[in-house]
A and B are shown apart, each in its own frame.
Chain A
């Protein structure tokens, strides 16, 4: 157990090195640019015109009020799943389980269709259901970690798969729409998020997401509990000497993360027009990967709630713009390219002080150039660059 926890803390110290880099915002920006460039390179290799594609993406993401609404609608669940990952990183753990927790939240939210309640209250009940379901799905890996020392990286992934199959079972057999077997029951009007801009799919869920981000910010940075969580995440040993119960902060981190992931599922089930239902038939096209994309958002947002809000607007824009890009006339780049770009951005984010790498590469390049300029002088050292 102790061996294992020191190993975990060592892995995490690395994460904090990234988190507390020199110029956080600038590094995120550089990582985003590097990711987009790698995406452009791959598009070029596959015979697409990257500039046309990115132009279509940009216009599809931020080209007008409809596009902005669409981008913010995509950003809504990403803010919440990103918070899941970030809260746990701050608490000193890697919670990769937002995917499963979000699916359980979505299923729990759909359950409000089973009974009637006054408008508004019905919505609140659904949110509570989703939060509880997400928290329950999250607390088991946390308990396995504190009691048995099971690495949360493995347990949360296993819970993702178990949750996915459980959600599919529920969507196909239990809360299924009796008229249409491919989807779940439709969330009744009394429990839906109102739409912000008519004709778009931007719902009041965005206010919930922003609100939750602010609450998480307040909790982590302005309460004793939050201080303990962050202290235990930064240095578990020192925190223990300071009288902080690490097991408690781990559970708090996971429960808080589970709640936000569950709410992410609710914003889809209760806030996504026109269906207000989850499609089990296509194996959850509207839910799949929201949890994983959230991790990219969290990293680019430097695991800070305010950073996450900004990063989510960027990634929401990528998703919304990607939908336009894939139907863009002569140059239809599949939406999946967006996830490639996300992966590349995360890879770029992994390198601490990425910016410092460029001078190093430039130095190597200069050396190479100098070597080439010197010509074919026989005494030039081979292989020195």
Chain B
């Protein structure tokens, strides 16, 4: 194992960190306001697919915009169903995931090649040349976003409104905060971030769309949220941990000597997620009204 191997491992890990961190901080905003969206996996998948299509029409930034837009729309649909229509959040999330699995597989067939669609290199987001190798600019975004959102939740009036809507919706309502609208905005924002994360996977990192591109990352992001206890900075740390082990798995697969079968290497990120979450529970505390639609008495 040479020095270059370590550098390439770190590079892969940083790239793998991006979608998990972005999705997790978006979900933190949503959960702070009291909505629990397990449809993130589906949003990642649809975001990746729509982002790739957008990039092929107008370049990488259009791709990101399309990913953002599609993610926001799904987040909006989720939150309308979960707030105004008093839907069951778990079931909506499961529905979104099923819907996304079908839609992306269907869309891939319509594009010609079942199960796989390569994004042309010229419409992918250009990577920066650094001493560590080619790095995606989105890494910077994922490193900065948690700090911004931390500031937003802890230091702004709007952030306080989010917390109020999640902790004591009754009190928030009395104080003149529109609980449902606050939650709606929060979950839409969370969906938009997940959409960006999805677009990142297809047009700035992996460079293709497959049926299982998201590969459980939406759920790993949920695990990151649990680990973080709704603190965006800890979510960044969680993203780095999970990204590292995903990177490690990818990296071991590329080693010329095959020390362990790659099926076992592929399990690694999921096993680590389980271990970390099992260790983290107990000290975290979630908003009181999480998962509960708000009804006026």
Residues of A within 8 A of B (CB): 1, 3-4, 7, 10-11, 13-15, 17-18, 42, 46, 94, 96, 144, 148-151, 153-155, 157-162, 165-166, 168-169, 172-173, 289, 292-293, 295-296, 299, 334, 336-352, 357
Contacts and interface: CB of A to CB of B under 8 A. Distances in A.
Contacts of A346: 91, 94-95, 98-99
Contact of B264 (A17, A169, A348): A169
A344 B99 contact: yes
Contacts, number: 173
Contacts of B91: 14-15, 18, 299, 346, 349-350
A10 B291 contact: yes
B251 to A, nearest CB: 17
Nearest to B99: A343
B261 interface: yes
Interface residues of B, number: 52
Contacts of A94: 90
A155 B274 contact: yes
30 contacts: A10-B290, A14-B88, A17-B88, A150-B274, A150-B278, A150-B281, A151-B226, A151-B277, A153-B90, A153-B222, A154-B226, A154-B273, A158-B223, A158-B274, A161-B215, A162-B270, A165-B263, A292-B98, A295-B98, A299-B91, A334-B106, A336-B109, A337-B102, A343-B100, A344-B99, A346-B95, A346-B98, A346-B99, A347-B92, A350-B88
Contacts of B94: 96, 295, 299, 346
B3 interface: no
Interface in B244-297: 261, 263-264, 266-267, 270-271, 273-274, 277-278, 281-282, 284-286, 289-293
Interface string B155-197: 0000000000000000000000000000000000000000000
Contacts of B284: 3-4
B36 interface: yes
Contact of A350 (B95, B273, B281): B95
Given A336-B106, A347-B92, 14 more contacts: A10-B289, A11-B89, A11-B291, A14-B89, A144-B274, A154-B277, A162-B271, A165-B263, A173-B261, A295-B94, A338-B102, A339-B99, A343-B101, A352-B87
Contacts of A148: 278, 281-282
Contacts of A168: 263
Given A343-B99, A344-B99, A334 B226 contact: no
Interface string B223-237: 100100000000000
Nearest to A354: B85
B2 interface: no
Contacts of B271: 158, 162
Contacts of B263: 165-166, 168-169, 172
A371 B261 CA distance: 68
Nearest to A151: B226
B10 interface: no
Interface in B205-223: 215-216, 219, 222-223
A136 B223 CA distance: 23
A289 B226 CA distance: 26
B16 interface: no
Given A11-B90, A14-B291, A144-B278, A296 B223 contact: no
B267 A165 contact: yes
Q: Which of A11, A157, A338 is the most central at the interface, judged by chain B CB atoms within 10 Å of its CB?
A: A157
A154 B291 CA distance: 16
A351 B106 contact: no
